[in-house]
Amino acid sequence: MAETLTTTIRPELLQALIDHAEHGITIAEREGNDTILLYVNRAFEELTGYTSDECLYKDCRFLQNADHEQPELLKIRTAIEQEQSVRVVLRNYRKDGTLFWNDLTISPYFDREEGVMYYIGVQKDVTQTITLQEELARLQARLAELES
């Protein structure tokens, strides 16, 4: 009979590993109609320009500024209500107001011990990719005009 090998990562090592991650990592929980941030890693702080103190206990909607007309936002709300994972690309804004494109994945996790649903978010800046895609589309449209 094979033994099950269980490895436990020390909490301080786990914290260091998450803080060392290349992409933003957040942990949130539902509070009424909001999904408030309980944790943000250093990559999230670097990506957004906000410190953890400025983010904690707020809903991530603050990253949208007044840009609330994005179809992806409904996908997020629906996934959270249905306790499902979701991946979207959103227009978000840094603390200094500059736009960045956020490839966001949200995964729910239910902690049976505490009876709480948590949401793990991973944020990746895909601004360069989106900018290149937009430029390619403009060039293709221009080429089509020239050919007709």
Tell me the whole-structure pTM to 2 decimals.
0.85
Nearest to 24 by CA among 96, 101, 129, 130: 101
Show pLDDT as tens, one digit a residue, over the chain (148 residues): 555 556 788 889 988 999 999 999 999 999 888 999 999 999 999 999 999 999 999 999 999 998 889 999 999 999 998 999 999 999 999 999 999 999 999 999 998 888 888 999 999 999 999 999 999 999 999 998 888 8
**DSSP assignments along 13-56, one per residue:** HHHHHHHH-SSEEEEEEEETTEEEEEEE-HHHHHHHS--HHHHT
Q: What is residue 121's three-state secondary structure?
A: strand
Torsion of CA 81, 36, 111, 18, to 10 degrees: 120
Quote the pLDDT of residue 118: 94
Amino acid identity of residue 49, one-letter, is G
Q: Would you state the pLDDT for residue 104?
A: 98
Q: What superfamily does domain 11-147 belong to in CATH?
A: PAS domain (3.30.450.20)
Predicted pLDDT at 4: 58
Contacts of the segment 102-105: beta carbons below 8 A, 24+ positions apart: 102/47, 102/63, 102/126, 104/76
Segments making up each domain of the chain, as ranges: 11-147
- Residue in 90, 84, 121 with CA at minimum distance from that of residue 103: 90
